[in-house]
């Protein structure tokens, strides 16, 4: 298991838990924005700038650290879908 710090489609099949952390450069956000951003990035983990898979007993935990770039990308995507 060499690269556990980049998106891996094979590992995605084994993800049993997800976690979201926030890059220190991300300023204050409303709780509703944080919820939406977390859900959106975990629905499309291939878009995450910082992703890490951690081995657990029965699969993997996916941890995504949301960056300012991720936020910009997700809101831009939301605007183009509207």
In a domain, 4, yes or no: no
In a domain, 1, yes or no: no
pTM: predicted TM-score of the whole model, two decimal places: 0.89
Number of domains composing the chain: 1
pLDDT value for 3: 56
In a domain, 67, yes or no: yes
In a domain, 18, yes or no: yes
* Residue-by-residue pLDDT tens, the chain, 82 positions: 445 999 999 999 999 999 999 999 999 999 999 999 999 999 999 999 999 999 989 999 999 999 999 999 998 888 887 6
In a domain, 2, yes or no: no
Please report the DSSP string for 32-79 in residue order: HHHHHHHHHHHHSGGG-SEEEEEE-SSSEEEEEEE-HHHHHHHHHHHH
- Written as six digits, the tokens of 44 are 């499309």
Helix (H, G, I), strand (E, B) or coil at 13: coil
- Written as six digits, the tokens of 61 are 């935990």
**Residue 20: which domain range?**
9-81
């Amino acid at each position: 298991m060499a690269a556990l710090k980049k998106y891996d489609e094979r590992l995605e099949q084994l993800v049993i838990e997800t976690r979201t952390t926030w890059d220190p450069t991300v300023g204050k956000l409303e709780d509703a924005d944080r919820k939406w951003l977390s859900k959106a990035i975990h629905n499309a983990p291939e878009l995450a700038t910082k992703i890490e898979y951690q081995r657990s007993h029965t699969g993997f935990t996916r941890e995504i650290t949301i960056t300012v770039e991720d936020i910009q990308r997700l809101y831009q995507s939301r605007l183009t879908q509207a």
